Amino acid sequence: MSKKAPLLPHLDIAALPGPDTIRREELPNGIVVLIRENFSSPSVVLSGYLLAGALANTADTAGLAFMTAIAMTRGTQTRSFEQIFEAIESIGASLSLYGGTHTTAFQGKALAEDLGLLLELLADVLQHPSFPKTEFERLRTQQLTALAIREQDTGARAQMAFNTLVYRDHPYGLSTNGYVETISELTTSDLRKFHREYFSASGLVITIVGGVEADKVLDLVSSTLGQWTTKKQRAMPDLPALKPLKKSRRVEVRLEGKAQSDLVIGTAGPSRYDEDYLAAAMGNSILGRFGMMGRIGEAVRISAGLAYYAYSAISGGPGPGPWQVVAGVNPKDENRAIEIVQKEIKRFTSRRVSEEELFENKASFIGRLPMQLESNEGVAGAISHMERYDLGLDYYQRYQNMIAAITRDQVLAAGKRFLDTERLAVAIAGPDGDGV
């Protein structure tokens, strides 16, 4: 009697977010509202973004979008920072903003009955931030301290060096959080100008998930954000084409008093819009995520015993984010660890992964989806993700079949396309010593 082939996990499609359970509306001022009711939860989560980010910054203003975002909750034309903080705290809610490369994102949570107040506060900080100087100076001091700490962090310095190699003369090569020199020069006038030029209702997406009826949510969003009208804003710059490395390059950053070296090895990977993204993501899981961090973890950490940690990561954002291997090693083992990583990348890009590896990772991708969507936060993030990358409201209902259809040849092709072993960037940050 022949042994039956194992089966992939089966998802309950009806339980996943989809067109029948997600309401999508566009307000007259351009705001897109996405709502999913969940009356099993007494809370409500909102998340979203608008198209204002560090892509509009230059080398001289790096960190401007980031500082603008975190300063917006520090005071508005009608509320002081203390009043905003007390209003949020009084209802046990949360509200935060973050400035990224392409967008300014926001997230909040409250009891369902307090959604109106949370939206009122969000609308106020988005439309009417006052950027009080005293609060800005406090934030600047905090950020300068964080940047000073970053300068002595081998992991952060290796990543920055890697970005400089891979994204030379490209916006992705700049630090979203800025540098000591640029943050020191920013003023509240710079923040006000950035807000005035780039913040607009048009292109804003807000997702709300929780125990509130969709009609009521739409009424609340319309009454708080629906009246936001702005003059024609400046469009975010187009992302320029990336010039790939012509050959492999290596850079080293040496810091005094460090006991560990951090390595970042890789290149630019696919954007989330790329047709090969899912195959690349599957391949990345096999290469350095699944189980004990995939092949990389097995080769570098377990078999060779060289790394404190070792894994691979793929970005998959709006542009060609990094596809990289990251490892922390004893400084004397730097070169040996790099050789093993390069060998594993070459193996990954020259031979198909095994049927067993592919099956196990497919099962993991499918099986963990319900856990990712078990909270309001997870569902809100998933819905925003579908909107951001034009995946369609039925994306997660198609997800199981898409993952099941990925082939060994597709994984190999994605690896060959992006991880050219003759054009890898190698960045090292660690102490001076024998490992150099």
List the chain domain ranges.
13-225, 249-430
Nearest-angstrom CA–CA distance, 138 and 213: 40
Residue 428 neighbours by CB under 8 Å, 6+ apart? 158, 161, 250, 251, 252, 253, 261, 262, 263, 334, 338
Whether the Cβ atoms of residue 341 and residue 325 lie closer than 8 Å to each other: yes
Q: Which two tokens stand for residue 425?
A: 């960037």
Crossing angle for the helix pair 64-71 and 188-198, nearest 10 degrees? 90
Residue 381 neighbours by CB under 8 Å, 6+ apart? 47
Residue of 406, 303, 417 whose CA lies nearest to 361: 406
Nearest-angstrom CA–CA distance, 360 and 291: 10
Note the pLDDT tens digit of each residue in 320-375. Answer: 999 999 999 999 999 999 999 999 999 999 999 999 999 999 999 999 999 999 99
What letter does residue 270 receive in the DSSP assignment? -
Whether the Cβ atoms of residue 425 and residue 244 lie closer than 8 Å to each other: no
Residues paired with 326 in a beta bridge: 264, 311
Note the pLDDT tens digit of each residue in 133-191. Answer: 999 999 999 999 999 999 999 999 999 999 999 999 999 999 999 999 999 999 999 99
User: Residues 422, 428, 433, CA angle at the centre, nearest 5°?
Assistant: 125
**Helix/strand/coil for 275:** coil
Residue 348 neighbours by CB under 8 Å, 6+ apart? 283, 286, 287, 295, 415, 419
Residue of 32, 55, 30 whose CA lies nearest to 194: 55
Note the pLDDT tens digit of each residue in 38-73. Answer: 999 999 999 999 999 999 999 999 999 999 999 999
Element (H, E) at 154: helix 154-166
Instruction: Tell me if the domain spanning 249-430 has CATH number 3.40.920.10.
Output: no
| Helix intervals (H) in 255-350 | 277-288, 290-296, 334-350
Q: Which residue has the tokens 């301290």?
A: 145
Nearest-angstrom CA–CA distance, 66 and 102: 11
Residue of 424, 26, 15 whose CA lies nearest to 218: 26
Q: Has residue 231 got a pLDDT over 80?
A: no
Residue 299 neighbours by CB under 8 Å, 6+ apart? 340, 341, 343, 344
**Helix/strand/coil for 152:** coil
Whether the Cβ atoms of residue 64 and residue 194 lie closer than 8 Å to each other: yes
Note the pLDDT tens digit of each residue in 375-432. Answer: 999 999 999 999 999 999 999 999 999 999 999 999 999 999 999 999 999 999 999 8
What letter does residue 129 receive in the DSSP assignment? B
Instruction: Tell me if the domain spanning 13-225 has CATH number 3.30.43.10.
Output: no
Same fold, 13-225 and 249-430: yes
Where residue 2 falls among pLDDT bands split at 50, 70, 90? low
Distances (CA, A) of 312 to 102, 224, 281, 417: 23, 43, 10, 17
Nearest-angstrom CA–CA distance, 314 and 306: 23
